[in-house]
Structure 1
Amino acid sequence: MKKLLFLVLVFIGAAFLLTNPFTTSTWTLGSSKTEAALTNSIESIKLKTANVNTVIEEYNGKEVKADLQGKGKVNVQRNGKMITVTYKNKPFSFFSFGNSSKLTIYIPKEYSNDLELNVGSGDVEFNETSLSLTNFSVKVQSGYTVIQGIDADKLDINVSSGDLVINKVRTKEGSVDLQSGDITIKNYEGKLDSHVSSGDASISINRVVDSIKAHVSSGDMTVTLPPKADITLQAKASTGDINNRFNFKTMKEQEDEIQATNGKGTHRIDVDVSSGDFNLR
């Protein structure tokens, strides 16, 4: 019994030494870099976070930088035409019962190529920027992510779990894939192709400038349109419900199908519901 108690105390002591904040400065897994120069040859920036609260900001500078307050390790690395920012917890971090560390990532205002954001867990806040990107990819596996504004030629959003809130979007072509969790997008402008297999999606269109496609296989999706939108709606439901509150100029409604137009009917909206609910407002 005494031997077992001794082993337990040794194990607890080792865990404490590994997780106590004063050991953070001595924990290394190779060299760590906190910035990388942004040159004209850089075509892509990839941000990978997990189990850390993260803030992403633009700034007047020439480097992609990261500042970590708390436990763990951040690394900013250039590999060819890509800069990658990664964060990792230190070994045995599961003993720390949560992570209060804060990671701030700085992106130069002049950057205009591809940006990829991968959120494994934790809270992420992407502050409003003047960045005008070529491609912007967002992947959320867990946690809570807020993006204040997006301006990109092409937008790709994938949420497998967790919550994503985007307050302003302007894009030529956007794709939204929700497998589980919740997505809220406000002030969307651009072409949209959306798929909801589970969870809840709410998208508010600021101005209809291109086609909109929505496929709901399960879960709920709500699309809110401006009252003077020039649209033609074709909506079908094999199982599930299509609920319309939009005041169309002309509308033909059957049990499982809605055909309608508003204004000049310039832009097409296609809705396919195999299960779940689709709401149009």
Structure 2
Amino acid sequence: MKRFAIVLVIVALAYFIIFKPSPLLPFSKQQASAPVTKQVDQIKLEVGSMHTEVKLSDDDQVHAELKGSGSVNVVRSGNTVQVKTRRPFTFFNWWNRTRLTVSIPRDYERALDFAIGSAKLDFTAEPETTYTALTADVSSGSMTAKNVIAEKSTITVHSGNARLNHWKTASADLVVRSGNLKATGYRGGFNAQVNSGNLTMDVAKLTGSVKTTVRSGRARIHLPRDASFRLKGNANSGLIQCTLPLKEKGKGENTIEGVHGSGTYTFDATVSSGLLHIN
């Protein structure tokens, strides 16, 4: 009788795992979606602590597929389509392989908003895709985004990491608190604020003004040889180093000024107990 009861329990568990998987199980699978119409002007992802891959698709909807423990919802609220995740505590945390895949329409060109907790988010736009705005807030996780053209970019990194590969933007606000932000193949201008973190900007083409404020952090900005700017820097208790050749160069105890190229754009730099290196 006892053996029969054990077999019955095993059969029941197998049934629920196969036909009715629980979001608490590390191998369950969920899907959710919402249509993207012309009225939608923002797609927002709140991914918490789930490893997330964002892809482009030929569909006219936002589709999310979750493999692992937790839950995912895709809802339309006004002009926003929002992807929300929830990851409850389970006894399977030691075997956590939760993965979230989010597909967004390839022809969507309005605002994107990423809110990342301790997750890792990867986004590659293939081919290079234009958005009116891209906003990302990275807490303690990481984000890698590639091939993005945005009229406006706002990236905030708290204690996490962000990597921007091949970005082009008319205007960008970059805030690094105690984390790290690295950009390669960057085209545009930017406004950067570095507190106790690290900023590395590899600029392929300078097409706008630059304003950089460093407070006890470190920033390195690599500019192309044809960059045209007028540098005006002030270092209170920090240090500004510029290894690029400057015309009309002036250097005081706490200041540095000069022109590179024809001085098309302004480059304003302020450093307080940090380091800014321009090369």
Whether TM exceeds 0.5 here: the answer is yes
C-alpha displacement at 1:99, in angstroms? 2.9
Alpha-carbon distance change, 64 to 276 in structure 1, aligned in 2, over 3 angstroms: same
SS of residue paired to 1:210: coil
C-alpha displacement at 1:149, in angstroms? 2.3
1:25 to 21, 27, 34: 21
Contact 2:23-2:69 within 8 A present in 1 as well = no
- 1:57 maps to 55
How large is the Cα RMSD of the aligned pairs? 2.0
Identify the range of structure 1 (245-254 vs 137-146) with the bigger mean alpha-carbon deviation.
245-254
C-alpha displacement at 1:23, in angstroms? 11
- 1:147 maps to 145
SS of residue paired to 2:21: helix
Contact 1:33-1:77 within 8 A present in 2 as well = no
Give the alignment of 1:1-281 within 5 angstroms.
Answer: 25-27=21-23, 34-90=32-88, 92-93=89-90, 96-97=93-94, 99-129=96-126, 130-281=128-279
C-alpha displacement at 1:266, in angstroms? 1.0
Question: For 1:58 and 1:111, how far apart are their aligned partners in 2?
Answer: 9
Question: For 1:26 and 1:93, how far apart are their aligned partners in 2?
Answer: 11
Question: For 2:96 and 2:59, how far apart are their aligned partners in 1?
Answer: 29
Contact 1:52-1:99 within 8 A present in 2 as well = no
Contact 1:216-1:273 within 8 A present in 2 as well = yes
Contact 1:134-1:154 within 8 A present in 2 as well = yes
Question: For 2:31 and 2:101, how far apart are their aligned partners in 1?
Answer: 14
Letter in 2 for 1:148: K
Unpaired runs of at least 5, structure 1: 1-16
C-alpha displacement at 1:22, in angstroms? 7.6
Aligned-pair identity (%): 28
Q: What TM-score do you get using the length of structure 2 for normalisation?
A: 0.87
Alpha-carbon distance change, 244 to 24 in structure 1, aligned in 2, over 3 angstroms: farther
C-alpha displacement at 1:248, in angstroms? 2.3
Question: For 1:103 and 1:81, how far apart are their aligned partners in 2?
Answer: 23
Alpha-carbon distance change, 104 to 249 in structure 1, aligned in 2, over 3 angstroms: same
SS of residue paired to 2:190: strand
Q: What does the per-residue CA deviation read over 1:77-134, in whole Å, with 9 as the maximum and x for residues that have no partner?
A: 11111100111113x3376136311111101011111110011012111113333111
Alpha-carbon distance change, 260 to 94 in structure 1, aligned in 2, over 3 angstroms: farther
Question: For 1:238 and 1:24, how far apart are their aligned partners in 2?
Answer: 63
SS of residue paired to 2:189: strand
Question: For 1:177 and 1:111, how far apart are their aligned partners in 2?
Answer: 26
Question: For 1:160 and 1:277, how far apart are their aligned partners in 2?
Answer: 19
Contact 1:24-1:72 within 8 A present in 2 as well = no
Question: For 2:201 and 2:152, how far apart are their aligned partners in 1?
Answer: 17
- 2:8 maps to none
Contact 2:33-2:74 within 8 A present in 1 as well = yes
Q: What does the per-residue CA deviation read over 1:26-79, in whole Å, with 9 as the maximum and x for residues that have no partner?
A: 348xxx861101101101110011221111111111111011122211111111
Q: What is the number of residues matched between the two proteins?
A: 258
Alpha-carbon distance change, 98 to 171 in structure 1, aligned in 2, over 3 angstroms: farther
SS of residue paired to 1:215: strand
- 1:3 maps to none
Higher strand share: 2
Q: What TM-score do you get using the length of structure 1 for normalisation?
A: 0.86
Question: For 2:19 and 2:242, how far apart are their aligned partners in 1?
Answer: 59
